[in-house]
Amino acid sequence: MKYTSTRNKTVSISSSEAIIQGISKDGGLFVPTNIPKLNNIMDLKEMNYKELAFIIMSKFFTDFKSNDLKNCIDKAYDIKFSKKEIAPLVNVGDVFFLELFHGPTLAFKDMALSILPYLLKEAIRINKIDKEVVILTATSGDTGKAALESFANVDGIKIVVFFPEDGVSEIQKRQMITQEGINTFVVGINGNFDDAQNGVKEIFNNNDFANLLYKNNYILSSANSINIGRLIPQIVYYFYGYLTLLKEGKIKNNEKINIVVPTGNFGNILAAYYAKEMGLPINKLICASNENNILTDFINTGIYDKRRELILTSSPSMDILISSNLERLLFHISGEDDMFIRTKMDDLARQGYYKIDNLNLKYFYGAYSTEKQVSFSINNMFVKNKYLIDPHTAVAYNVHEKYKLETCDDTKTIIASTASPFKFGSKVASSIDIDVKNKDEFNIIKELAGKTNIEIPRAIANLENKEVLHENNCNKENMKYLIEKFLEVGGIDD
Ligand SMILES: *Cc1c(COP(=O)(O)O)cnc(C)c1O
């Protein structure tokens, strides 16, 4: 299996090289040259998460030796996860929540980031690289902490995380700035997630900077969802969710299901699309957005228009206007037309929008939820079912309600439940009528636990007394300079 670039099809590299490089030099994203089919899927229903993970990942990471890949999987999906199923499926009302937030940082990013360091170390070994790897990451809140947690104190690797100072939840921020590990570096930037992401992309595309690092024995890599080392592990849980339904007798062999994904950078839902292309019986992929509804508009009109203000919502991990992974979907559905992708991405960079005529996204449905609808959904779910959902998951739940009203489709449905409600305490608490005015986040969380009788996850309870270890803050223009300082490499002029 080879990987190519969405913007240049002459690129042909192995999976381990794609994991190390993160993003292609032409600005494109790495994609598998074909999406492998999985046969006899229904026979896999007795497999546990790790066994299934191996079946799926070995189709994509073909230059890893079986035993080495098994080792990576073993180390990733262990007791770091508080549930033995790793991704439990919970039936509430007429839907099934696939709970992806039982990892160490309480968001679905752990599902892939818990394995990425092991994949990367193995990839470095396979390619006989004798440099130190610097992981450079922009975060809308959850990736940052999940990456810090998984890469902290891994030798041979340093990790730098940029987060938007005012664009993450109180808990998300505290999780990051209290991060331990001498190889970690956390910086708040004055701007939003797109600023952070663009800054990071510019650094990746800066050849002089790459050379400077190279001379100092470093190479750059990425832990963002543009890295295939994140995308591929995310395919696993869609199979796992489906097979759990099958095993529990909730669906018949080969019965189609719908999947709803609260979407930001389009990574998680793209993994569901890959699962479908591999043969998983999926009817609709439902793309749920918050008030930053750029993907809803795109799915419904074929116009991707970022000329709008980014709105800060209670689902900050979806406050994104440039959904990077959409580029991969467009590459696949355009018949792998790299020139077409280059033109569209150029349009987006130059004029702020692109338009695709006769866009055929028949497997996709897109809608969005307002802040009010998010609160209402959290409230309704709790009052009716005593089940607490976070604002991202509430966006997905609400969009599914809209989908049902509009289509009368009663296909069994899995909703990707992407974060613990305690990570977004004040929104969740106020939605279920707890007075949060002038209260400290940790007190709010305690009240939330009291009212709902749900235990506060330990990773959050511990945060209150943790020391702040990172107080860096900068403007977008200074990101490169701060990295130079952290790595102690001499600066370059530009
Ligand atoms: C990152 C994140 C999302 C969005 O996932 P994408 O892969 O960026 O679409 C949704 N919910 C939560 C809690 C997240 O952390």
Residue 185 lies in a domain: no
Question: Which structural domain range is residue 412 located in?
Answer: 89-106+229-461
75 is catalytic: no
Residue 404 lies in a domain: yes
Q: What is the pLDDT of residue 86?
A: 98
Which residue in 25, 83, 109, 250 is the catalytic one? 109
Residue 317 lies in a domain: yes
Atom of ligand 1 at shortest range from CA of 101:
13
Residue 253 lies in a domain: yes
**Tokens describing residue 371:** 């802040």
Q: If you average pLDDT over every residue of the chain, what do you get?
A: 95
Strands 157-164 and 132-138: parallel
Atom of ligand 1 at shortest range from CA of 262:
10
Q: What CATH number should be reported for the domain holding residue 258? A: 3.40.50.1100
Whole-number Å distance, alpha carbon 487 to ligand 1 midpoint, is: 29
Q: For each of the chain's 494 residues, which pLDDT tens digit applies?
A: 999 999 999 999 999 999 999 989 898 999 999 999 999 999 999 999 999 999 999 999 999 999 999 999 999 999 999 999 999 999 999 999 999 999 999 999 999 999 999 999 999 999 999 999 999 999 988 899 999 999 999 989 999 999 999 888 889 999 999 999 999 999 999 998 889 988 998 998 899 999 999 999 999 998 988 899 999 999 999 999 999 999 999 999 999 999 999 999 999 999 999 999 999 999 999 999 999 999 999 999 999 999 999 999 999 999 999 999 999 999 999 999 999 999 999 999 999 999 999 888 989 999 999 999 999 999 999 999 999 999 999 999 999 999 999 999 999 999 999 999 999 999 999 999 999 999 999 999 999 999 999 999 988 988 989 999 999 999 999 999 999 999 999 765 54
Whole-number Å distance, alpha carbon 186 to ligand 1 midpoint, is: 20
Residue 357 lies in a domain: yes
In this predicted model, what pLDDT tens digit does every residue of 416-463 receive, in sequence order? 999 999 999 999 999 999 999 999 999 999 999 999 999 999 889 889
Residue 335 lies in a domain: yes
Substitution candidate for ligand 1 out of 137, 224, 235, 418 with most atoms within 8 A of CB:
418
Whole-number Å distance, alpha carbon 143 to ligand 1 midpoint, is: 8
Structural domains counted in the chain? 1
Residue tagged 């608490």 (tokens): 429
Residue 167 lies in a domain: no
Residue 197 lies in a domain: no
Atom of ligand 1 at shortest range from CA of 109:
15
